[in-house]
Amino acid sequence: MFSLFKSFFGADTQQAGKYPADLLEKAANRAIEGVDSRLQSLPGCHRRLRPSLITAIDHVVELVGVLPEARDASRNQYSNDYYLRTMFASADALQNFFSRNAELISYRDNLTTEPEHVIAMLRMDREEKRVFGVDIQGEVLRRDVAQITVNFANHALLDPSGSEEETRRLLMRRAFDHLISLALHEVMECRQVRQELEQQYRLYQRKSATLDSEGWGFDTTQAEPGADHAAAQAKLEEIETQLLALPAKTELLDAHLEMLINVFSNAANNLYHTTESMIVDRMNTIKKNESDHAHRLSWDDIHSSSGIARTVMMVKYPLTDLSPRNRATRKTVYR
């Protein structure tokens, strides 16, 4: 049975290459079910997968571990925090984002007792744009000066929880799921599947689309407000049942397992972190030198072999700053 929300990556996933047997079993089953449950029928499937599986787990633990500790993103911090001022146009825009965020609203509505802060990953698209603006060079004011501005769009919150440790664990699972989704896309695009097994290919497409709608990995869009997770689970189980009923050539399943092994073995190239430093002024213009009005900021980016890169930041936000629970949500442009 494909279990979409099964959790793993606990506090004991700290020493590289050394993980509890039950965690490795859960991770292997999640990977196999995420691609094609019929892989379980291959002789020695878990044994063949294990080395690359450990490589992938090592990588996602390290990937999440290098992210800086959560930044205080409360409204009160806005005026004194150059990062918040660069990411959000105003303190109101910052508060509106958190108060109207569907993921955070859903998290809060399911709480029995509220923690003081919520910890989550803020994911954004960082955009650099060439413009012409005003600049002071020495004591001379010049107009129509070529400049580059940096702005942020498509803000999203991932994996909110009441502690940084729990959010990091959820992010490890998300990174692992991201690798699984890359393997599923490779299998889906396998020429042999497309040419010889059109029914199977269509099922892979449905499965991939369903996982994407649930916000797997770092590339996909967040689930829509009010998303029916139970319906998604039922749809995945239906697809799994249909896949299991299809005849499968051993050599084709073997090729699919090798694709999964290859993605895991090359986890460091399929999902990786970089840091970019830039000097930005209060107008979000990139400058060459630091000054009283321009400060050096470092951005953490997560890159996928799918070609997508996102800027990410762990944030801490006080639940007392949120608007009342019954406040209607609506789309807002933040910058």
How would DSSP label each residue in 7-19?
Answer: ----TTTTSTT--
pLDDT tens for the chain, 335 residues: list them. 333 334 456 545 556 667 888 889 999 999 998 888 889 999 999 999 999 999 999 999 999 999 999 999 999 999 999 999 999 999 999 999 999 998 898 898 888 888 899 999 999 999 999 876 666 665 655 666 678 999 999 999 999 999 999 999 999 999 999 999 899 888 877 755 445 455 555 555 565 565 555 555 666 554 444 445 556 556 656 656 655 555 567 888 898 999 999 999 999 999 999 999 999 998 899 999 998 889 999 999 999 998 889 999 999 999 888 866 544 444 444 44
Contact 183, 260 (CB under 8 A): yes
pLDDT given at position 328: 42
pLDDT given at position 324: 62
Beta bridge partners of 153: 125
Q: How far is CA 128 from CA 77, 121, 147, 330, in A?
A: 25, 22, 10, 27
Q: Determine whether 273 is exposed, middle or buried from the number of CB atoms within 10 Å of its CB (0-12, 13-18, 19+).
A: middle
Give the pair of three-digit tokens for residue 221: 């869009």
- How many residues can be counted in the chain? 335
Q: Which residues contact 301 (CB under 8 A, 6 or more apart)?
A: 126, 273, 274, 275, 276, 309, 310, 311, 312
pLDDT given at position 1: 31
Q: Which residues contact 276 (CB under 8 A, 6 or more apart)?
A: 298, 299, 301
Q: Which of 11, 8, 1, 44 is nearest to 177 (CA)?
A: 8
Q: How far is CA 90 from CA 81, 96, 177, 282, 335, in A?
A: 12, 10, 34, 12, 9
Helices (H), the chain: 21-35, 45-65, 82-87, 91-99, 102-109, 164-188, 191-196, 198-213, 229-245, 250-265, 267-270
Q: How far is CA 111 from CA 29, 106, 157, 162, 198, in A?
A: 30, 9, 17, 10, 44
Rg (CA), the chain: 22
Where are the chain's structural domains?
Answer: 17-176+260-323
- Whole-prediction pTM: 0.78
